């Protein structure tokens, strides 16, 4: 198979769907992962109507058995994985839910990308140009939180801490795979009009997908172990 294979988590809607779409329009086969089979298949069907090679895959990102089954299926069907977009994420904090919100936020935003990436790492290392993109946030930048008054007002502890931890995983994997063809980076999508970002956000999902797609298709001399928004490098 000559086409690159990309897995996008949280691809049923929003930024994840747009990342899958933009990758697919470049001729990449996209696996649209969503929590339910119906959502995954619906996303894939919409992409196929636009001439994109897409396959829906059910993935409950916090279920390690689901992750293992998906890794086995990708190995059987494709023998490798070229691109992994860890896009699925949540922001759950609200009054009366603080304790559970902390645990549940880390389950999706940090633990899930860890277990998914570790399970798929052998397949990514088989690629001639493997790329891992972790969907982070500027609110996960410690330097940004310490220096920006707006960030201090809007950041919630569980979400910010979970994204900071995800950034550390990016740095860890980049160092672990140094000397290979694999590149691992974090991305801040911007403030995007999604259920999480709200209607007043400045960017469309299409615009919010741009940086992730760029990092997913980096050339051989592209960066690894970085944190990016558009063409800018962000501080950790």
Cα separation, 224 vs 236, whole angstroms: 14
Q: Kindly tell me if the per-residue pLDDT of 199 is higher than 70.
A: no
Cα separation, 170 vs 178, whole angstroms: 12
Give me the half-sphere count of Cα atoms (radius 13 Å) on the Cβ side of residue 191: 10
Higher pLDDT among residues 94 and 186, named by residue: 186
The first and second tokens of residue 165, run together, are 């931890």
Q: Which domain holds residue 109?
A: 5-233
Give the model confidence (pLDDT) of 120-176 as tens digits: 999 999 999 999 999 999 999 999 888 888 767 777 888 999 999 999 999 999 999
- Report pTM: 0.93
Q: Kindly tell me if the per-residue pLDDT of 59 is higher than 90.
A: yes
Cα separation, 62 vs 114, whole angstroms: 10
Q: Kindly tell me if the per-residue pLDDT of 205 is higher than 70.
A: yes
Task: Please compute the mean of the pLDDT values over residues 211-217 and round it to a whole number.
Answer: 98
Higher pLDDT among residues 127 and 102, named by residue: 127
Q: Kindly tell me if the per-residue pLDDT of 37 is higher than 70.
A: yes
Active site includes 137? yes
Q: Kindly tell me if the per-residue pLDDT of 10 is higher than 80.
A: yes
232-233 and 227-229 strand pairing: antiparallel
Task: Give the helix/strand (H/E) hosting 228.
Answer: strand 227-229
Active site includes 176? no
Question: In this structure, what CATH number is given to the domain that contains residue 46?
Answer: 3.40.50.720
Cα separation, 54 vs 21, whole angstroms: 9
- Per the residue annotation, which of 21, 91, 136, 163 is the catalytic one? 163
Largest Cα span, the chain: 51
- Per the residue annotation, which of 91, 127, 136, 137 is the catalytic one? 137
Domain count, the chain: 1
Main-chain phi, psi angles of 40, to 5 degrees: -65, -45
């Amino acid at each position: 198979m000559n086409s690159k294979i990309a897995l996008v988590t949280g691809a049923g809607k929003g930024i994840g769907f747009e990342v899958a779409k933009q990758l697919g329009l470049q001729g990449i086969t996209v696996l649209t992962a969503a929590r339910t089979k119906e959502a995954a298949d619906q996303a894939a069907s919409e992409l196929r109507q636009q001439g994109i090679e897409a396959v829906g895959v059910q993935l409950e990102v916090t279920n390690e058995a689901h992750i293992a089954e998906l890794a086995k299926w990708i190995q059987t069907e494709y023998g490798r994985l070229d691109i992994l977009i860890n896009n699925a994420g949540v922001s759950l904090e609200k009054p009366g839910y603080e304790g559970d919100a902390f645990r549940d936020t880390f389950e999706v935003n940090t633990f899930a990308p860890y277990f998914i990436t570790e399970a798929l790492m052998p397949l990514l290392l088989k690629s001639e140009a493997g790329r891992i993109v972790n969907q982070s946030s500027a609110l996960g930048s410690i330097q940004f939180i310490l220096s920006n008054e707006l960030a201090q007002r809007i950041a919630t502890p569980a979400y910010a801490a979970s994204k900071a931890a995800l950034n550390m995983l990016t740095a860890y994997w980049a160092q672990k795979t140094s000397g290979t063809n694999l590149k691992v980076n974090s991305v801040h999508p911007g403030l995007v009009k999604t259920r999480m970002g709200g209607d007043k956000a400045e960017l469309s999902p299409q615009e919010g997908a741009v940086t992730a797609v760029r990092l997913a298709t980096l050339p051989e001399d592209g960066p690894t172990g970085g944190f990016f928004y558009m063409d800018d490098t962000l501080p950790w």
